[in-house]
Amino acid sequence: MTDSVQSNHDREIRTTAVDFSFGELLNLHKDGEIIIRPEYQRLFRWSNEQRSRLIESIIMGLPIPPIFLIENDDGILELIDGLQRTSSVLQFLDYKAINQPELILEGCDFIKDINGETFSTISTVLRLKIKRTPIRATIINKSGDAFVKYELFKRLNTGGSLLSAQEIRNCSSRMIEGGADFYELLQRLAQFEPFASTISRLPESMVEQRANEELVLRFFALVNSRHTFKGNIEEWLDGYMESILFGLGNFNSHAMAALFEKTFNAIFDKLGNQAFTRFNTHGEATGRLAPAYYEAVCVAFVERYDDLIDVSADDILSRLRAAFGSDRFKSATGPGANTIPKLHERIQVVQEYLCAEIAA
């Protein structure tokens, strides 16, 4: 076991490197000494073949990338990176321990005779080899600064293929005291039925990567922090969420949830799932949800709610078609749309059309 200390000015993070065998990890998990949280990464995004090939790699003696854990105040370890690898092996060793179906090996290319096998049917030699195979674990000790833990998780995962930007926000927010409460608010509002209905054109593959939760966060950022937008959506949303998590800005969760629900009740009532998408030449809604359209409509309904709430749904829809079809809106949503002037312009265009300040 080795200890290391890394300094960043006045911040310090202490880590411990230790090799666990997969058998030890299974026992620690059963004893509740290591927590595998599916909130951090969905437990099984990997296919059966991917999981099986990991088992095959272990049998072949190939090196397995390290995992990262955080030590809580009570000494319990939480797995924050490497969940796919760890849970795949634990599923093979003892599927009941993680409440998953038994893993039957398939798609193994190099050791083909293990295809169709389970842990109980492979030889004793192979069972022992898998259980005794070590994996390097870096433990972030509880003495580490919360911000450093947060940043470390982001940096471990940014650029990886397994986690989307919003999944990283979901995980990293849980590094901070109170962060889980904020993220659970995003999750709850993402399930609010009028909101879920209005964004139903969002592809299911994107919902699986928490894009619906990102849209809730984007709503809050649009309402409270448009002035901080600098052209990079991910950095803007990261910065806004961090300002909340680290107490750098005021955020009244009850008031913001009420505003969100009020706004999406109105949007759903007036526009249904046609609110955030393009219209074809026949005036029919077509295609998937467009984030730039979402931004403009959400802000229009927040800032001009009193002007819009008594307008008929047919009139609102007609005005929205005209707004989205206007040259000004197309210019503000085309190439180079992620600038503050164009963000303000598309919001302004939609507000003017919806409030009949420009004839539809």
Please indicate whether residue 36 or residue 3 has the higher confidence score (pLDDT). Answer: 36
pLDDT band at residue 324 under the 50/70/90 scheme: very high
Give percent of the chain above pLDDT 90. 59
User: Cβ–Cβ contacts within 10 Å for residue 335, how many?
Assistant: 7
Whether residues 154 and 183 share a domain: the answer is no
Together in a domain, 25 and 120: yes
Give the residue with greater pLDDT, 307 vs 37: 307
Residue 337 confidence class, pLDDT cut points 50, 70, 90: confident
**Dist. CA 113–CA 121, nearest whole Å:** 12
Residue 307 counted as domain residue: yes
Are residues 256 and 151 both part of a single domain?
A: no
CB 79 within 8 A of CB 37: yes
With respect to residue 165, please indicate whether it lies within any of the assigned structural domains: no
When comparing pLDDT for 150 and 193, which is higher?
193
Higher-pLDDT residue of 155, 356: 356
Last residue in a domain, options 137, 160, 183: 160
Average pLDDT estimate for 139-156: 66
**For residues 36 and 48, what is the distance between their CA atoms, to the nearest angstrom?**
19
pLDDT band (50, 70, 90) for residue 352: very high
- 19 conformational bin, left if phi > 0, alpha if psi -120 to 50, beta if neither: beta
DSSP label of 208: H
Q: Which two tokens stand for residue 49?
A: 């073949």
245-300 pLDDT, tens digit per residue, is 888 878 999 999 999 999 999 999 999 999 999 999 888 989 899 999 999 999 99
| Within-domain flag for 190 | yes
In a domain, 113, yes or no: yes
Pair 276, 290: CB distance under 8 Å: yes
Q: What is the pLDDT of residue 69?
A: 85
Q: In this structure, is residue 49 part of a structural domain?
A: yes
183 and 288 part of one domain: yes
* Tokens 């649009």 found at: 222
Please name the residue ranges forming H helices in the chain: 22-30, 48-60, 83-93, 124-132, 146-157, 165-173, 179-190, 193-198, 204-208, 211-224, 233-245, 253-271, 291-303, 305-308, 313-325, 327-333, 340-354
Structure confidence by residue, pLDDT tens digits, 5-41: 444 444 556 778 899 999 999 999 999 999 886 555 4
Residues 188 and 74 in one domain: no
Residues 137 and 219 in one domain: no
pLDDT at 157 exceeding the cut of 70: no
Same structural domain, 251 and 121: no
Query: What is the pLDDT at residue 1?
Result: 47
- Pair 41, 129: CB distance under 8 Å: no
- 151-155, 301-305, 312-316: which has the minimum mean pLDDT? 151-155
Considering the domain architecture, whether residues 191 and 331 belong to the same structural domain is answered as: yes
Query: Is residue 143 domain-shared with residue 185, that is, in the same domain?
Result: no
Asked which of 102, 135, 160 is the last residue of a domain, the reply is 160
- Collapse the DSSP code of 69 into the 3-class scheme (helix H, G, I; strand E, B; otherwise coil) and give the result: strand
Residues 141 and 187 grouped into a single domain? no
Classify residue 244: in a domain, yes or no: yes
Point out the domain boundary residue: 160, 182, 212.
160
- What DSSP state is assigned to residue 261? H
Whether 142 shows a pLDDT value over 70: the answer reads no
* pLDDT bracket for residue 169 (50, 70, 90): confident
Tally Cβ neighbours within 10 Å of residue 319: 22
Residue 112 and residue 226 share a domain: no
Residues 257 and 114 in one domain: no
Domain count, the chain: 2
pLDDT value at position 339? 87
Q: What per-residue confidence (pLDDT) applies to 2?
A: 45
- pLDDT tops 50 at residue 237: yes
- Sequence letter at residue 105: L
Residue numbers of the domain that contains 204: 170-354
Q: For residues 77 and 337, which has the higher predicted lDDT (pLDDT)? A: 77
Task: Tell me whether residue 359 is in a domain.
Answer: no
195 belongs to a structural domain: yes
Q: Phi then psi for 4, rounded to 5 degrees?
A: -140, 155
